[in-house]
Amino acid sequence: MTLKIHERLLLTGAAGGLGKQLRTRLKANCNILRLSDVAEFGAAEAGEEVMLADLGDARAVDVMVAGVDAIVHLGGISVDGPFAPILNANIVGLYNLYEAARRHSVKRVLFASSNHVMGFYTQGETIHADSPARPDSLYGLSKAFGEDLSRFYFDRYGIETVCIRIGSSFLEPRDRRMLATWLSYDDLHRLVTACLTTPVVGHSIIYGMSDNAVTWYDNSRARHIGYRPQDSSDIFRQAVYARTPEPDLKNPVARYQGGGFVVAGPYE
């Protein structure tokens, strides 16, 4: 069930793949959906506001955040690459976002973290929210920083945050790894809705996954969020097996949970 308890929500990263999916769905969660990204992505539709902002620009971010009740933060660099852009968007940009939230008394943020915070655990392990971070890339490292930053802003200023370690959110799983990490678009919205409407979330970490039979993530420490996935990668398993080879466990891409991110770079 989708509850409309917010007047105005901010969705950053609105032009990205998941931003486009949530743009249509989040209108059921609020009266006004404010959309933001770094580049032009079209005019506002009914019930929307559009505010473009570079996350590295503190003044632009302050204007973007003013007047919202809660933030769904998908913005930033979503792949691994050179450090400078990641620093600007994912580290400086996140600091700017939380500073703006503090100044404007925004009390809840949903932070799109990533499974790549934990990517150097092996695919034979099950991990939970309290497992030590093992980032697999500069991107994963930036998300680990974001989780720590959000915890500081909760402890110091009382801004509640749910860090959603998103697995692999696509229309369907693309390979065998995604059978464990897959998060359907509808389950993504169910998870975001739960994070927005649960009365008390404190500072929480939850793995963004559907109800997959095989998974590496234990969400038992986040049951207070009230997320109940309804989709599963299992219906795609036979087709994925048919089109992909047996994994070579000597290959780090097949051995570690982070997949190809564990071998990305270095970047010059």
Give yes or no for residue 173 having a pLDDT over 80.
Answer: yes
Residue 54 inside a domain? The answer is yes
Give yes or no for residue 1 having a pLDDT over 80.
Answer: no
Residue 89 inside a domain? The answer is yes
What is the average per-residue pLDDT within 112-138? 97
- pLDDT value, residue 231: 98
What is the average per-residue pLDDT within 4-23? 97
DSSP 123-136: TT--EETTSPP---
Neighbours of 201 (CB within 10 A): 22
Confidence category of residue 43, pLDDT binned at 50, 70, 90: very high
Residue 1 inside a domain? The answer is no
Number of domains in the chain: 1
The DSSP secondary-structure symbol of 159 reads: -
Give yes or no for residue 18 having a pLDDT over 90.
Answer: yes
C-alpha–C-alpha distance, residues 148 and 165, integer Å: 13
90-to-27, 39, 64, 184, 211 alpha-carbon distances in Å: 26, 16, 16, 24, 29
Residue 105 inside a domain? The answer is yes
Residue 144 inside a domain? The answer is yes
C-alpha–C-alpha distance, residues 141 and 138, integer Å: 5
Strand-pairing partners, residue 205, are: 163
- pLDDT value, residue 264: 92
C-alpha–C-alpha distance, residues 172 and 168, integer Å: 9
C-alpha–C-alpha distance, residues 212 and 180, integer Å: 6
Residue 95 inside a domain? The answer is yes
Report the range of poorest mean pLDDT among 3-7, 11-15, 53-57, 91-95. Answer: 3-7
- pLDDT value, residue 199: 96
Give yes or no for residue 2 having a pLDDT over 90.
Answer: no
Domain holding 153: CATH number? 3.40.50.720
Percent of the chain at pLDDT > 70 equals 100
* C-beta of residue 75 within 8 angstroms of C-beta of residue 55: yes
Mean pLDDT of the chain: 97
C-alpha–C-alpha distance, residues 216 and 257, integer Å: 8
- 166's enclosing H/E stretch is strand 160-166
246-to-176, 182, 239, 251, 254 alpha-carbon distances in Å: 9, 19, 14, 12, 10
Catalytic residue set: 139
Residue 238 inside a domain? The answer is yes
Give yes or no for residue 112 having a pLDDT over 90.
Answer: yes
Q: What is the pLDDT of residues 195-254, one digit of tens each?
A: 999 999 999 999 999 999 999 999 999 999 999 999 999 999 999 999 999 999 999 999
Give yes or no for residue 3 having a pLDDT over 90.
Answer: no
Show the domain range for 72. 6-263
What is the average per-residue pLDDT within 27-40? 96
C-alpha–C-alpha distance, residues 52 and 18, integer Å: 17
The angle, 0 to 180 degrees and rounded to 10, between the axes of the packed helices 185-197 and 17-25 is 60
Residue 268 inside a domain? The answer is no
